[in-house]
Every structure is written in structure tokens, then in C-alpha cells.
């Protein structure tokens, strides 16, 4: 793999990461590589790239490391986490931008906490497919450059085929990256991380206050985009909150079929902390933790607490502006007003009452009557909407539905990757008119096909 590699993160204080080499695997085979993304990053592929994607060969200029961070997981503080099964090879530098290249599932690191550092095939294909779908849907996200099978088994509840994902991100800096140094009182590392983050992501920021406001703005936009797709992240822990404002770590994520605001899919989210309707509130909470980690850098801490509290409390106002932008686009409203908030919420209430399919209702608003049990109520809403719309609604026809993802994984574990490739092609062209090859992916699941629980990608 030829590219301009560097690793600026490796020049930060040495206690912020651990130098680590990926553990080689016995018999790697390329499943897929993302040629279009590679072209955008200025990467040229070579014959031995499978070895790079597997972690068996380190590309020139790379400086492999595992990043250290902490985090609140389901609201509970974990004082040390870190990359337990991922290795940051470095950064590809292209057009004056840096993009992290990370191997996920590449073996143990000093932060593995007893784990084997490996990934099995299912979560690797899920993240590849869903992250590329999110990109096609216009949502800020990490990307997938390649997936390889390792030829080695991974033991979970059963024996499963191993795999490694090559992930691309603007960076892998998280809220939890800041939290660990603030909690430890390591001002040198915290200051270095803050300066580095500003230089890399927010060059117009002049200090921690500007950085906080910029991150809040990006998080508000991100969550609004999620909500407009019926997407539920599932593990919005602070170690999964990207400072760059990208969707990261696709574990028990899911797209809703039938809509309900309290929908939860994650098998470990027993109390519904990260339910669909809670995501903006949780993002606010995460931003409060980020603000807290920046306060030690401020000269006047009392004044900073007051200023940062105002900034965090303003998250919801910013989110509502972004939500109007998203749902205005979905409803075909050039400008969404206060009155239009009710138009959107009333439709969602009807969908929740009747169990209507989120994606399919928005995809065909002019012909969605059959999605509802109370058709008279929908007709009344439709009359109101028709009077207000002044543009063509923009909505995807296809999203990565849970039952299709699970069927794809089952086929791949059995050695058949054709369903993965077919589903990937469909979800990465989500606005295209349906064809005989794709219309099946647009169908809501039958009662027997419904997937109600998803699991972390371990």
C-alpha cells in the first residue's frame, strides 16, 4: 500500500499511548477493499496489501500504537480503557488533511484488559457495511478501507472465523481521551492533547472555550442526522464520542423498522439509557463531561464553569436547529417553522401509534396511507402537509435493516459473501430508484424476521 504515511499522534507525550505491533495471523485472505475511498485518500494498492490489512506487514512511514483513554460507560466511570483490540498504524496525509488508518481486531495491546484483541467476522462486516452506508446517507462517520479474514478461529460463545477491519477516521480522539488526563491531573498531556486537537480539527479555535463550542456544534449536527434516519447508536459512552463529530464504533447499533421513540436494540442497554429519543440528551451529558475535562486548563475556573455550563446548556437549542434542517429536508420544507415542528411530531406520533415503518413512510410520503391503521388520521395529516410542502422530500429508500444484516452475517460465516456484496451495493446507493436486485432490501421485516436485540461487536 503506497501512501504518504505519518503518525503525528506518536509525537505527543509518551504516556498517551503504547507502541505496539499488530499480531500477525496465519492465513489472511482479502474479503473486500474500498478502492473509491483509497483513491480519495491518495492510496495506491499493491500486491501484498492483504498482509498490511491483516497486520502482518507494516507500511513504510507507519508508527503503530494503541491510544489510551478512559470513559463513562452507561454513566459509570471507568478510569482506564484504551485500544484493546485496535492499532493505529498512523495517518495518511493527502491534500493537507490527515486521516487515521487503524486496524481493528489486530491482536492484544497493553490495554486489552484480559481480552484476546481479536474480532470475529460478523462485527467486522457489520461495521464495514453500516459505516459505508452512513457515508452514503451523508452522515459524518468513520469509513472502512478493507476487511480480511484471518484464517484463525475466534472463541466467543462458540468458535467463529476471525477477521480484521481497516478503519479510516478524521481521528480517533474521543471525549474519553480528554477525560483520562483531566482525571489524573496530568496537565502536560491535557494541554498537549488540546493543542493537538485544535490544530488538527478546529484550527480557528483559540483555546478550550472555542474547542468546546465547536465540538458541541458538530455533535448536535451528528445526532440530528441520526434521528432523521431512525438510527440508534446503542453505546453512546464518552469513549465512543468522537471529538471530530463522526459516528464511531458500530457495536449494537440499529436502524428502526417500525417507529417508536423509546426503541432500544442493544442487549446491554437494559434501562434504555441510549434509546432513540434519549440520544440528544445523552449527547448533552457527554458534552458536559468534555467541558469538565477542559476546566483544569482555564485560568479562572469559576468563570470557566459558568461559561461552559451555558455552552453545554445551549446544546439543545443547536440540536433543534439541526433537527429542523434534517426533518425539513425529509418533509420537503425549504424553511421549517415553529408550526412545522408540530407537523413533524404529529406524523411521528401517528407512526408510533400504528407501528408504521420509519424509512418507508418517509420514502413515499405521497403514498404512505397503507402504512397506517388509522388512515383517516393520516389523511388529515397528509392534507396539512400537502399545503405546506414546497420542495421534493429527500429520503433514502434503503437502509441497513437489521434482519438483512444478520442474514448477511450468517451467510458469510458459512462462507458465502455474495449476500454481503449485494447488500453493500444497495445500502451505498440508498437514494437510487429500486430495481429487481434491490427492492427486497427496502421491505420491512415480517414478524418472524424482526431483530429486536443487537450485540456489541466483540
Residues 285-335 pLDDT 10s = 999 999 999 999 999 999 999 999 999 999 999 999 999 999 999 999 999
| Cα–Cα distance, 294 to 381 (Å, whole number) | 47
Beta-carbon contacts of 457 under 8 Å, excluding residues fewer than 6 positions away, are 119, 122, 123, 124, 126, 127, 250, 251, 252
Beta-carbon contacts of 206 under 8 Å, excluding residues fewer than 6 positions away, are none
Active site residue 239: yes
**The total number of residues written for the chain in this structure:** 458
Beta-carbon contacts of 325 under 8 Å, excluding residues fewer than 6 positions away, are 224, 336
Mean pLDDT of 125-137: 98
- The grid cell for 355 is 407501528
| Cα–Cα distance, 305 to 299 (Å, whole number) | 11
Query: pLDDT band at residue 458, thresholds of 50, 70 and 90?
Result: low
Q: Which residues pair with 144 in a beta bridge?
A: 167
**Among 394, 455, 457, 446, which residue's Cα sits nearest to residue 257?**
446
Express as a percent the part of the chain with pLDDT over 90. Answer: 93
| Cα–Cα distance, 153 to 151 (Å, whole number) | 7
Mean pLDDT of 400-417: 97
Which of helix, strand or coil describes residue 25?
coil
Backbone φ/ψ region at 107: left (φ over 0), alpha (ψ -120 to 50), beta: left
CA distance to 41, 43, 45, 99, 169, per residue, from 37 (Å)? 6, 8, 12, 11, 12
CA distance to 211, 258, 350, per residue, from 346 (Å)? 37, 16, 6
Q: What is the DSSP letter of 145?
A: E
pLDDT digits (tens, 9 = 90+) for 12-51: 999 999 999 999 999 999 999 999 999 999 999 887 799 9
Which of 100, 239, 249, 340 is catalytic? The answer is: 239
DSSP letters, 398-422, are ----HHHHHHHHHHHHTT--HHHHH
Contact status, residue 28 vs residue 55, Cβ threshold 8 Å? no
Query: pLDDT band at residue 275, thresholds of 50, 70 and 90?
Result: very high
Mean pLDDT of 342-356: 97
Mean pLDDT of 158-169: 97
Amino acid at each position: 500500500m503506497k501512501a504518504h504515511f505519518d503518525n503525528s499522534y506518536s509525537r505527543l507525550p509518551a504516556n498517551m499511548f503504547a507502541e505496539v505491533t499488530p499480531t500477525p495471523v496465519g492465513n489472511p485472505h482479502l474479503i473486500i477493499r474500498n478502492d473509491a475511498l483509497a483513491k480519495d485518500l491518495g492510496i495506491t494498492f499493491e500486491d501484498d496489501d492483504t498482509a498490511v490489512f491483516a497486520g502482518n506487514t507494516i507500511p513504510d512511514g507507519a508508527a503503530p500504537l494503541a491510544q489510551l483513554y478512559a470513559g463513562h460507560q452507561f454513566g459509570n466511570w471507568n478510569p482506564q480503557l484504551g485500544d484493546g483490540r485496535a492499532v493505529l498504524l498512523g495517518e495518511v496525509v493527502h491534500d493537507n488533511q490527515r486521516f487515521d488508518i487503524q486496524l481493528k481486531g489486530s491482536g492484544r495491546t497493553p490495554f486489552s484488559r484480559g481480552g484476546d484483541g481479536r474480532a470475529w467476522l460478523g462485527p467486522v462486516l457489520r461495521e464495514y457495511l453500516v459505516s459505508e452506508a452512513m457515508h452514503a446517507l451523508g452522515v459524518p462517520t468513520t469509513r472502512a478501507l478493507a476487511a480480511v479474514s484471518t484464517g484463525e478461529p475466534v472463541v466467543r460463545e462458540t468458535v467463529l472465523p476471525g477477521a480484521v477491519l481497516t478503519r479510516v477516521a478524521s481521528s480517533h480522539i474521543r471525549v474519553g481521551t480528554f477525560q483520562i488526563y483531566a482525571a489524573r491531573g496530568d496537565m502536560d498531556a491535557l494541554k498537549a492533547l488540546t493543542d493537538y486537537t485544535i490544530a488538527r480539527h478546529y484550527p480557528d479555535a483559540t483555546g478550550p472555550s472555542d474547542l468546546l463550542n465547536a465540538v458541541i456544534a458538530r455533535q448536535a449536527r451528528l445526532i440530528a442526522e441520526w434521528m432523521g434516519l431512525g438510527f440508534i447508536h446503542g453505546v453512546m459512552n464518552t469513549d465512543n464520542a468522537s471529538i471530530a463529530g463522526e459516528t464511531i464504533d458500530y457495536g449494537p447499533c440499529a436502524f428502526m423498522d417500525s417507529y417508536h421513540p423509546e426503541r432500544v436494540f442493544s442487549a446491554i442497554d437494559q434501562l434504555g439509557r441510549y434509546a432513540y429519543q434519549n440520544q440528544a440528551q445523552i449527547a448533552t451529558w457527554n458534552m458536559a463531561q468534555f467541558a469538565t475535562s477542559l476546566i483544569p486548563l482555564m485560568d479562572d475556573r469559576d468563570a470557566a464553569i459558568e461559561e461552559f455550563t451555558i455552552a453545554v446548556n445551549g446544546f439543545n437549542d443547536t440540536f433543534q436547529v439541526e433537527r429542523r434542517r434534517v426533518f425539513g429536508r425529509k418533509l420537503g420544507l425549504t424553511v421549517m417553522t415553529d408550526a412545522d415542528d408540530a407537523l413533524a411530531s404529529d406524523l411521528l406520533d401517528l407512526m408510533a401509534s400504528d407501528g408504521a415503518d420509519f424509512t418507508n413512510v418517509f420514502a413515499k410520503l405521497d403514498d404512505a396511507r397503507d402504512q397506517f391503521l388509522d388512515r383517516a388520521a393520516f389523511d388529515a395529516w397528509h392534507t396539512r402537509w400537502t399545503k405546506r410542502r414546497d420542495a421534493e422530500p429527500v429520503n433514502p429508500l434503503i437502509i441497513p435493516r437489521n434482519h438483512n444484516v444478520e442474514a448477511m452475517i450468517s451467510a458469510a460465516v458459512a462462507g458465502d459473501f455474495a449476500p454481503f456484496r449485494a447488500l453493500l451495493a444497495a445500502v451505498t446507493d440508498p437514494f437510487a430508484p429500486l430495481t429487481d436486485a434491490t427492492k427486497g432490501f427496502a421491505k420491512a421485516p415480517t414478524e418472524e424476521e424482526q431483530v429486536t436485540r443487537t450485540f456489541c461487536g466483540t
